[in-house]
Amino acid sequence: MFNKDIITAFEQKETPFFYYDLDLLQATLKSAQGAANAFDFHIHYAMKANFNERVLTVIQQTGIGADCVSGNEVLKAIEIGFAPKDIVFAGVGKADKEILNALDHNISAFNVESVQELSVIADLAKASGKIAKVALRINPNVDAQTHKYITTGLDENKFGIKTWELSACLDVIKENKSIELIGIHFHVGSQIVDMNVFKSLCVKVNEFNSWFDERGYRLKILNVGGGLGVNYNEPDKESIVDFRKYFEIFDHFLERKAGQEVHFELGRALVSQCSSLISKVLYVKNGIKKNFLILDAGMTELMRPALYQAYHKIESLKAIEKKDRSNTSDFTHYDVVGPICESTDCFGKEVELPLSKRGDLIAIRTVGAYGEVMASKYNLRDEIRYVYSDEL
C-alpha cells in the first residue's frame, strides 16, 4: 500500500492522520457492485462504518444506497446526495424527532426493532399524514461466531424483534393504515469470516419468509444485513474481499419468491482496507521485561483495540524493505501505545518491529471502518486530520 514516494509525502504532514486510498476504495466498490449485480442483489452502505465526507461522496456516486442508524445519518445521507428511495433507517432506539424527519424526507423504509417502536411509527406517520414503509428486524438467534461485543443476532442481544412477538407486530400492522409492511430484516453480527454463519442465516430467513407468506404477506424485500469480515492480519494480501463468494452463498441458499428483492447492508467490507492511521513515535522506553513505543496517536483516534481488543496490523514505515532474518538484532518486540492517560490506550502488545527511534512513522492498518467515526476529544485532543491519496 505504501511506496517510497508516499512515505516521503507523509514525512511532510503533521501526524497523526487518517490516510485514505481513494483508488482502493473505488476498486472495492466496483468489485462489490459487480458481484451484487450478477445476482440482482442490492447494496446499502452502512454509514456507521465511516461517514468521512469524501468517502461518502465516492460511495454515493457508485449508486449504492445508504443504511442509517441515526437521524443525523439520514440527514447526512440526503446532504451527500443519496436518494431518499435508497435510504433505510435502522437502530434500536429511534427518537420521535428522528422518525419525523425521516418521514418528512420519504425514505425507503424503517427497519423496526420492537413492537412498541412499530406502534410509535404508526402514530407519528398518522399524525403527519404519511404512510411509513417498514421492515421488521427479526432476531433469528443465529450465532455469528465472532467477538461477543459485535454479535447482534442472539436472543441475549438488545437488537431486533423476538420470534414470539411477530404475531403482535401483525396485529399492529392490521390496525394501522399508516404503516405498510414491505419486508423483513436481519443482522447477526460483524466481522464474520465463517461463511457457514450466512448459510445458517439463509435457513432462518427462508423460514420467516414462508411464515409471512402463509399469513397473506408477500414481502417485497428480504434484507439480510451485512457483517462480512475482512483480513486484518494481512491487508495487502486481501485488500478486497471475495464479494462473489459471499453473494453466491445467498444466491444458492436463499429461497426468493417471485418479485422479491434481496438487500445487503455492507460497511466494513467496503471501507476497511482503504484507510490507515499514520502516526509518529514520540518516545521509546526500553525496559527489562517490556519495550514501549509511545505514539502521537492514541485511543482517541482509534478506539477499537481498547473497546474490544481488536487486532490491527502495525507497520514501521522506516527504510527497511523487508525483514532480514539473518540479522535478528535489527528487530525487537514493542508494546505499541498511545499518549492518552488510560492503561487501555494500547494498539498492540509484543509487536515485532524494526529497532525504532523518535520520529519514525508507524502505520496502523485497516482502520477505514470504525476508526475515524469512533474518534473522541478525550484529553482535549486535536481535531482529526486527513490525507487523501489524490492529494499526494
pLDDT in tens, 198-228: 999 999 999 999 999 999 999 999 999 999 9
Half-sphere exposure of 94 (CA within 13 A, CB side): 32
pLDDT band at 1 (very low <50, low <70, confident <90, very high): confident
pLDDT band at 153 (very low <50, low <70, confident <90, very high): very low
Residue-wise pLDDT for 302-340, tens only, equals 999 999 899 999 999 985 444 455 566 689 999 999 999
Single-letter residue type at 99? I
Here the cell at position 68 is 442509517
Residue-wise pLDDT for 59-107, tens only, equals 999 999 999 999 999 999 999 999 999 999 999 999 999 999 999 999 9
Run of H or E residues at 248: helix 243-253
pLDDT band at 140 (very low <50, low <70, confident <90, very high): confident
> What's the CA angle centered on 373, arms 61 and 144, to 5 degrees?
90
Q: Is the pLDDT of residue 235 over 90?
A: yes
- What's the rounded mean pLDDT across residues 335-351? 97
Q: Is the pLDDT of residue 266 over 70?
A: yes
Predicted local confidence at residue 355, as pLDDT:
93
> What's the CA angle centered on 203, arms 198 and 204, to 5 degrees?
95
Percentage of the chain modeled with pLDDT above 90? 89
- What's the rounded mean pLDDT across residues 113-120? 97
Predicted local confidence at residue 373, as pLDDT:
97
Predicted local confidence at residue 147, as pLDDT:
46
Predicted local confidence at residue 318, as pLDDT:
83
> What's the CA angle centered on 374, arms 370 and 380, to 5 degrees?
150
Predicted local confidence at residue 143, as pLDDT:
53
Give residue 136's region: left, alpha or beta (phi > 0; psi -120 to 50). beta
Three-class DSSP category at 124: helix
Q: Is the pLDDT of residue 358 over 80?
A: yes
What does the mean pLDDT of the chain come to? 93
148 phi and psi angles, rounded to 5 deg: -60, -25
- What's the rounded mean pLDDT across residues 294-302? 98
Report whether 208 contacts 162 (CB < 8 A): no
Q: Measured between alpha carbons, how far is 99 from 77 in angstroms, rounded to an integer?
A: 15
Q: Is the pLDDT of residue 353 over 80?
A: yes
Q: Bridge-partner residues for 386, per DSSP?
A: 18
Here the cell at position 282 is 514520540
Domains of the chain in start order, with CATH, are 4-16+273-391 (2.40.37.10), 22-272 (3.20.20.10)
- What's the rounded mean pLDDT across residues 278-302? 96
- Which of 22-26, 142-146, 170-174 has the lowest average pLDDT? 142-146
Q: Which value, in Å, is the radius of gyration of the alpha carbons in the chain?
A: 23
Q: Dihedral sign, CA of 272, 248, 109, 152?
A: negative
Q: Is the pLDDT of residue 35 over 70?
A: yes
Half-sphere exposure of 76 (CA within 13 A, CB side): 21
Q: Measured between alpha carbons, how far is 356 from 135 in angstroms, rounded to an integer?
A: 53
Are β-strands 361-364 and 275-286 bridged in parallel, bridged antiparallel, or unpaired?
Answer: antiparallel
- What's the rounded mean pLDDT across residues 101-129? 98
Q: Is the pLDDT of residue 27 over 50?
A: yes
CB atoms within 10 A of CB 303: 20
Predicted local confidence at residue 177, as pLDDT:
97
Predicted local confidence at residue 328, as pLDDT:
61
Predicted local confidence at residue 179, as pLDDT:
98
